[in-house]
Amino acid sequence: MDARNILAENGIRPTLQRLQIYKYLAEKKNHPTVEHIYSDLLPHIPTLSKTTLYNTLNLFIDKGITAQITIENDETRYDANLCSHGHFKCRKCGNIIDFPHDIDLERSELPSDSTPEQAHLYVWGICGNCKD
Ligand SMILES: [Zn+2]
Ligand SMILES: [Zn+2]
């Protein structure tokens, strides 16, 4: 499905900047930080400001078309892959790779009376490219 439809269907007016930001997230699938997105897009969108970028990302998150992931405490990353998946982080190259995974909360012994809102699976290790 194309980016314009995804934005429109989620009640987001598809301005040129929003489209470019969404396409970047959906196509790169590299779980970028806001700094990454900004430096990659600036050559294509010279008028882009960090404030606009933050506002746009927050809008995407509000509308549920982008997820915020925090695999390490100090860095927030953005992910437009909304299928249920886990994240594998390579200790050597630092790449974060998606893998299909469904967390089955029904089978987890959550604290009684709690209401789960989000669950993530993060796996650390060495990716195939970095193996000797
Ligand atoms: Zn690696
Ligand atoms: Zn992901």
Taking residues 99-127, what's their average pLDDT?
A: 87
Mean pLDDT over the full length of the chain: 91
Compute the distance from residue 97 Cα to the ligand 1 centre, in Å. Answer: 9
pLDDT over 90 for what percent of the chain? 71
Compute the distance from residue 75 Cα to the ligand 2 centre, in Å. Answer: 14
Instruction: Give the pTM.
Output: 0.82
pLDDT in tens, 44-89: 999 999 999 999 999 999 999 999 988 877 789 999 988 889 999 9
Helices assigned H by DSSP within 29-122: 34-41, 50-62
More confident residue, 3 or 108: 3
